[in-house]
Chains A and B, each alone.
Chain A
Amino acid sequence: MSKKLLVILLMMAVMLPLSAFAEGMKKADTIDELVKMFDDRKCMECHPQIAKEWKESFHAKSVTSSLNGMRNFFAIGVPTEWERELTKAEALKCLDCHVPEINYASEKLAVEIANMIIKAIDSKSKSEVKKITKELSKLRVGCISCHNIKATSIAKGLMGKPVKDAVYGVNGKESPAHLTIQTNALRTSLFCAQCHGKYVAADGEIIMCNTLSGSYYNGYVANGGGETCQDCHMKKGKRGHFFPGGHDLEIVKEGIGFNANILGVKHTVGKWIPTAIVDIAIDNKSGHRVPDG
Chain B
Amino acid sequence: MIAKDNKGTELKETKSYYEIGNDLDGFMRYGAWQIKEIVDLTLQPLVKQKEKYVFEFKKDATEADVTVNLYYYISGKKGDKIYSKSKKLKFVEE
Contact B40 A289 (CB under 8 A): yes
Contact A275 B57 (CB under 8 A): yes
Known: A276-B64, A278-B53, A291-B72. A77 touches B31 (CB 8 A): yes
Q: Classify chain B: how many residues form its interface, as a range.
A: 35 or more
Known: A274-B61, A278-B55. A225 touches B35 (CB 8 A): no
How far does the Cβ of B2 sit from chain A's closest Cβ, in whole Å?
Answer: 11
Binds B, one of A29-37, A178-186, A205-213: A205-213
- From B21, B31, B49, B55, A73 is in contact (CB under 8 Å) with B31
Bound form: Cα–Cα A73–B29 in Å: 12
- From A215, A220, A246, A276, B66 is in contact (CB under 8 Å) with A276
How far does the Cβ of B36 sit from chain A's closest Cβ, in whole Å?
Answer: 7
Contact A225 B46 (CB under 8 A): yes
Interface residues of A in 245-279 (CB under 8 A from B): 246-247, 249, 252-253, 256-260, 262, 264, 266, 271-279
Contact digits for A180-195, partner B, Cβ 8 Å, 1 yes 0 no: 0000000000000000
Contact A286 B68 (CB under 8 A): no
How far does the Cβ of B24 sit from chain A's closest Cβ, in whole Å?
Answer: 12
Query: What are 21 A-B pairs with beta-carbon distances under 8 A?
Result: A69-B32, A73-B33, A208-B35, A215-B45, A225-B45, A256-B83, A264-B90, A264-B91, A266-B91, A271-B59, A274-B5, A274-B58, A277-B52, A277-B53, A278-B53, A279-B50, A280-B53, A284-B45, A290-B45, A291-B17, A291-B43
